[in-house]
Amino acid sequence: MSFRLALKGMAADVFYKTGAFELLCRRIAKTKAFVLMYHRVLDDPASETVPVQPGMYVKASTFRQHLAFLKSRFRVLSLSELVARIGTGKSIDSCCAITFDDGWRDNYTQAYPLLREFSLPVTIFLATGFIGTGCIFWPDESAFYLQQPEVIRAGRESALLRPFLDKLPAGTVDAKWLEQAIAVLKALPPWKREGIMGCLRELSEKNPPGGLLMGWTEAKEMQASGLVDFGSHTANHFILDQVSQEQAEEEILQSKLDLEEHLGITPEL
């Protein structure tokens, strides 16, 4: 553990044990509501076949602690109920909403059982074009390819990949390196990023595993519980400020149509 991380841990411990943390929570909760955004809940991130970005997950044991804390200190509402309260001028004192982005299958296998255990509502925003398809998002797909040394070696001989790889630090391909690679790709225009992705697919002898995102059957089961609402997260997970207004509108509309078709809902969020 680094000195800086140890120092932060000590400060957090003092902040909690002196009661300052609870006092701050109570003071803030009197005037504001919290909306928490998660992506994934995993038992053992290190065992995942596809590398997981550090900021994209919490461990299942940590998520359980979060839920226990939230239930003891806040009124946990669905996001739609929280929005309705704001719209009608009702109090949002000590309110909190839990959300998930994307529609990962571990939302069903890991998060959903814990949400049922604590009887807490959640809103999951689905990238509907990926649900039930076996496909994964380009950041995760690129990390899967770039963790393969043979792909990196071949990429340095590629006129298309070499400029991209030259922007990254030399040395070990670890979680930090992969996160930097994803950041570089994210800043590129979509057509250029897709060109690099196509090249990575050609160089890799392995295909990324399927089944990382939930299917519509799982979504329907969660919806039927009354604890899980679903909202739109576009159809194809495009970065909307990198596409035309027409494409952005199509993404949002198609996601809405998919949710209507498969779940029988008209999403407002």
Binned at pLDDT 50, 70 and 90, residue 1 comes out as low
**Buried/exposed code over 181-204 (b: 16+ C-beta within 10 A; e: otherwise):** bbeebeeeeeeebeebeebbeebb
Q: Give the per-residue pLDDT at 23.
A: 80
Asked if residue 123 lies in contact with residue 269, where contact means CB atoms within 8 angstroms, the answer is yes
Q: What is the pLDDT of residues 10-59, one digit of tens each?
A: 888 888 888 887 787 777 767 789 999 999 999 999 899 999 998 899 99
Q: Give the per-residue pLDDT at 168.
A: 93
More confident residue, 103 or 170: 103
Please tell me the distance from the alpha carbon of residue 93 to that of residue 181, in angstroms, as a whole number: 41
Asked if residue 136 lies in contact with residue 212, where contact means CB atoms within 8 angstroms, the answer is yes
Torsions phi, psi for 119 (to 5 deg): 55, 50
Q: Give the per-residue pLDDT at 4.
A: 81
Lookup: tokens for 143? 């990390």
Please tell me the distance from the alpha carbon of residue 42 to that of residue 58, in angstroms, as a whole number: 6
Q: What is the pLDDT of residues 4-24, one digit of tens each?
A: 878 888 888 888 888 887 787
Please tell me the distance from the alpha carbon of residue 171 to that of residue 96, in angstroms, as a whole number: 43
CA distances from 213 to 109, 131, 132, 267 (A): 11, 6, 7, 20
Average pLDDT over residues 110-128: 98
Residue 261 has pLDDT above 60, yes or no: yes
Average pLDDT along the chain = 93
Stated pTM of the model = 0.88
Query: Which of 24-33, 73-82, 130-139 bottoms out in mean pLDDT, i.e. has the lowest?
Result: 24-33
Query: What value does the CA radius of gyration of the chain take, rounded to a whole number of Å?
Result: 21
Lookup: tokens for 108? 């069903």
Helix, strand, or coil here: 190?
A: helix
